[in-house]
Amino acid sequence: MKQINKNWLLLGFIMMLTFACDYKYITPDTGDPIDPEEPISFSAEVEPIWTTQSCTNCHNGDGLFSLKPGEAYQSLINNGLLDMDDADNSEIVTVPGSGGLHADYVYVGNQKLLIITWIEQGAKDN
Q: Would you say 34 or 47 has its CB closer to ligand HEC? A: 47
Tell me the site size for ligand HEC, rule CB under 6 A: 18
Kindly identify the residues of this chain, within the stretch 64-93, that bind ligand HEC according to CB under 6 A. Answer: 64, 79, 81, 91-92
State the sign of the Cα–Cα–Cα–Cα dihedral 51, 54, 57, 62: negative
Q: Would you say 34 or 50 has its CB closer to ligand HEC? A: 50
> CA 126 to CA 119: how far, in whole Å?
12
Residues 6+ apart with CB under 8 A from 48: 69
> CA 78 to CA 74: how far, in whole Å?
6
Other residues' Cβ atoms within 10 Å of the Cβ of residue 117: 21
Q: Give min distance, CB of 47 to ligand HEC, in A.
A: 11
- Single residue of 31, 60, 71, 95 touching ligand HEC by CB under 6 A: 95
* End-to-end CA separation in angstroms for the chain: 58
> CA 104 to CA 92: how far, in whole Å?
15
Other residues' Cβ atoms within 10 Å of the Cβ of residue 81: 18
Q: Would you say 95 or 110 has its CB closer to ligand HEC? A: 95
> Which range touches ligand HEC (CB under 6 A), out of 8-16, 22-30, 96-104, 116-124?
96-104
Based on the shown chain and the rule CB under 6 A, indicate whether residue 50 belongs to the binding site for ligand HEC: yes
Q: Give min distance, CB of 24 to ligand HEC, in A.
A: 18
Give the binding site for ligand HEC (CB under 6 A).
50, 53-55, 57-59, 64, 79, 81, 91-92, 95-96, 100-102, 105
